[in-house]
């Protein structure tokens, strides 16, 4: 199968499995797992924070971040299509009693500064207390410009808001910004605009499980309590942390290959008249059916592709994600199946 549904579908490489087997272990609930501690120190330092916490999932990482920034009855400003708002079961509201204030995205994925400012509520008993600005980078594969991050961050600070980045695909953004240079420096450049950053190891980086939440020592102490409460206190988690460390050693710079494959895929899709393709900035390609094509064709397309050994998703739009378990041959096979379906 050529699985383009998500960059989460990757299997650990043989070298990653070896690193997992070799990992020194302890009980991380006692803080005793050396592999977890090494990973936490490394990601914190690498992104310019005092501390970090290894998390089972990005969802739990974001939840613990929001709950560490906000109290019951507080509010956070967030994009209408942001993962924390739309794709995490409403956890901030359900479990954190934190009210989201969703804002529309501009075409580049940003939230307009004027919208942010207009939605910061006055200190008045009618309103929830606006406490936090939450951004996402990449958002749907789009890289938010660093100049924008600086402006949004300054605006939030001026109003006393904390700033959280859902950086599930932070390293995809960093590799794009670095243009072949130092991806870690580019990642720090993004992270410096935030009080906390969550990063996923189980997306393009290819680890089987895991995210990290980074922030100040005091913030991470609060998040640690929420993580325990959420059931995220793991024991010999070093096997998983070792996979994440291996990913940081070997799978960061290669994200550029995924981005090149996404461009190859998009270039092929553009040759199909029935599709309207959005030029990808990183590893996610979105396409829509051209206006003259009946909408029902989308679900027919997905099952046809499956019959040809190609998996994609079409929840809102057709989406194809490249990752370390697909290569140029796989992309070309997917394109051949798409051309066959559309007789293009």
Ligand X SMILES: *Cc1c(COP(=O)(O)O)cnc(C)c1O
Binding interface with ligand X (CB under 6 A):
57-59, 62, 83, 136, 166, 168, 200, 202, 211
* CB nearer ligand X, residue 247 or residue 301: 247
What CA–CA distance (Å, rounded) separates 87 from 319? 16
CB of residue 308 to ligand X, shortest distance in Å: 27
φ and ψ at 167, to 5 degrees? -105, 45
Bridge partners of residue 316, in order along the sequence: none
CB of residue 300 to ligand X, shortest distance in Å: 27
Token readout for 235 is: 């024991």
Torsion angle of alpha carbons 266, 210, 65, 68, nearest 10°?
180
CB of residue 94 to ligand X, shortest distance in Å: 15
CB of residue 136 to ligand X, shortest distance in Å: 5
φ/ψ region of 132 (left if φ > 0, alpha if ψ in -120 to 50, else beta) reads beta
The SS3 of residue 97 is coil
Residue with the shortest CB distance to ligand X: 58
DSSP-assigned letter for residue 298 = H
φ and ψ at 131, to 5 degrees? -120, -25
CB of residue 52 to ligand X, shortest distance in Å: 16
* CB nearer ligand X, residue 176 or residue 200: 200
What CA–CA distance (Å, rounded) separates 102 from 85? 7
What CA–CA distance (Å, rounded) separates 92 from 339? 43
* CB nearer ligand X, residue 120 or residue 166: 166
The SS3 of residue 117 is helix
* CB nearer ligand X, residue 6 or residue 146: 6
* CB nearer ligand X, residue 83 or residue 259: 83
CB of residue 344 to ligand X, shortest distance in Å: 31
The SS3 of residue 343 is coil
CB of residue 53 to ligand X, shortest distance in Å: 14
CB of residue 23 to ligand X, shortest distance in Å: 21
* CB nearer ligand X, residue 59 or residue 245: 59
Q: Which residues contact 243 (CB under 8 A, 6 or more apart)?
A: 12, 16, 19, 20, 201, 207, 208, 209, 210
Q: Regarding beta strands 162-167 and 196-200, do their DSSP bridges make them parallel or antiparallel, or are they unpaired?
A: parallel
Residue of 286, 293, 340 whose CA lies nearest to 315: 286
């Amino acid at each position: 199968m050529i699985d383009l549904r998500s960059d989460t579908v990757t299997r650990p490489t043989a070298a990653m499995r070896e690193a997992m087997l070799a990992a020194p272990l302890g009980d991380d609930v006692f803080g005793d797992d050396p592999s977890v501690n090494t990973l936490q120190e490394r990601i914190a330092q690498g992104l310019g924070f005092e501390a970090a916490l290894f998390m089972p999932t990005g969802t739990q990482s974001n939840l613990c971040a929001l709950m560490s920034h906000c109290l019951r009855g507080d509010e956070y400003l967030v994009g209408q299509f942001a993962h924390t708002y739309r794709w995490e079961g409403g956890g901030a509201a359900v479990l954190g009693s934190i009210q989201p204030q969703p804002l529309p995205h501009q075409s580049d994925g940003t939230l307009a500064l004027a919208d942010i400012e207009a939605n910061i509520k006055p200190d008045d008993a009618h309103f929830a207390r606006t406490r936090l600005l939450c951004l996402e980078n990449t958002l749907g594969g789009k890289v938010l410009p660093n100049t924008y991050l600086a402006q949004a961050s300054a605006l939030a600070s001026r109003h006393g808001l904390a700033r959280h980045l859902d950086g599930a695909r932070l390293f995809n953004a960093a590799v794009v910004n670095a243009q072949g240079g130092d991806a870690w420096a580019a990642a720090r450049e993004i992270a410096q605009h935030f009080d906390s950053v969550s990063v996923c190891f189980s997306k393009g980086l290819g680890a089987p499980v895991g995210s990290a939440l980074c922030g100040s020592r005091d913030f991470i102490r609060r998040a640690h309590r929420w993580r325990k409460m959420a059931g995220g206190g793991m024991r010999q988690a070093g096997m998983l942390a070792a996979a994440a460390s291996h990913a940081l050693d070997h799978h960061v710079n290669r994200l550029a290959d995924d981005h090149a494959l996404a461009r190859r895929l998009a270039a092929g899709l553009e040759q199909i008249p029935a599709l309207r393709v959005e030029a990808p900035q990183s590893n996610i390609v979105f396409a829509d059916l051209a206006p003259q094509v009946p909408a029902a064709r989308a679900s027919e397309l997905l099952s046809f592709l499956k019959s040809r050994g190609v998996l994609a998703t079409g929840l809102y739009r057709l989406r194809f994600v490249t990752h370390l378990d697909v290569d140029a041959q796989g992309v070309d096979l997917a394109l051949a199946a798409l051309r066959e379906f559309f007789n293009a």
